[in-house]
Amino acid sequence: MDLAIKLVMLLLFFGIMIYVGFYCRKHSTDVNGFVLGGRNVGPWLTAFAYGTSYFSAVVFVGYAGQFGWKFGIAATWAGIGNAIIGSLLAWVILGRRTRIMTQHLSSATMPDFFGKRFRMPSLKIGASILIFIFMIPYTASLYNGLSRLFGMAFNIDYSVCVIVMAVLTAIYVIVGGYMATAINDFIQGLIMLVGIVAVIGAVLASKGGLMASLNGLASVTDETIPNGTVPGVFNSFLGPDPVSLLGVVLLTSLGTWGLPQMIGKFYAIRSEGAIHKGTVISTAFALVIAGGCYFLGGFGRLFSDEIGVVNGAPVGGYDAVIPTMLSSLSPFLLAIVIILVLSASMSTLSSLVLTSSSTVTLDLLKGHVLRDMDEKKQLLIMRLLIVVFIVISAALAIFQANSSVAFIAQAMGISWGAMAGAFLAPFMYGLYWKRTTGRACWASMIFSTIFMTLDMLGNLKVISLNLGLLQSPINAGAFCMIVGLILVPLVSLLTKAPDRAAVDEMFASYDRKVTVRARDSIEVAE
| 162-178 per-position pLDDT tens digit | 888 888 889 999 998 88
**Alpha carbon 444 to chain centroid, angstroms:** 21
Nearest-CA neighbor of 456 among 424, 416, 489, 411? 411
| 400-412 per-position pLDDT tens digit | 766 655 455 466 6
End-to-end alpha carbon distance in the chain: 71
C-alpha radius of gyration, the chain, whole number: 23
SS (H, E, C) 275-329: HHHHHHHHHHHHHHHHHHHHHHHCCHHHHHHHHCEECCEECCCHHHHHHHHHCCC
Q: Which position has the higher pLDDT, 515 or 358? A: 358
pLDDT level of residue 83 (50, 70, 90 thresholds): very high
Distance CA 334, CA 517 (A): 47
Sign of CA dihedral 131, 137, 138, 140: positive
Average pLDDT over residues 388-409: 72
pLDDT at 431 over 80: yes
pLDDT at 290 over 90: yes
> Is 67:410 a contact under the CB 8 Å cutoff?
no
pLDDT at 524 over 60: no
Within 8 A by CB and 6+ apart from 298, the residues are 68, 71, 72, 73, 74, 75, 76, 217, 234, 235
| 190-237 per-position pLDDT tens digit | 988 988 998 899 999 988 999 999 999 888 888 788 887 888 888 888
Under DSSP, is residue 414 helix (H, G, I), strand (E, B) or coil?
Answer: helix
**Alpha carbon 181 to chain centroid, angstroms:** 15
Within 8 A by CB and 6+ apart from 485, the residues are 424, 425
Average pLDDT over residues 276-301: 93
What ranges do the domains of the chain cover?
2-366+375-510
Nearest-CA neighbor of 57 among 135, 172, 144? 144
| 96-150 per-position pLDDT tens digit | 999 999 989 988 889 999 999 999 999 999 999 999 888 887 887 777 666 666 6
- Is CATH 1.20.1730.10 correct for 2-366+375-510? yes
> Is 476:417 a contact under the CB 8 Å cutoff?
yes
Average pLDDT over residues 230-249: 87
Average pLDDT over residues 445-474: 84
Distance CA 112, CA 106 (A): 9
On average, the pLDDT of the chain sits at 85
pTM above 0.85, yes or no: yes
pLDDT at 526 over 50: no
Residue 228's CB: how many other CB atoms inside 10 A? 17
pLDDT at 58 (0 to 100): 73
SS (H, E, C) 46-111: HHHHHHHHHCCHHHHHHHHHHHHHHHHHHHHHHHHHHHHHHHHHHHHHHHHHHHHHHHHCCCCCHH
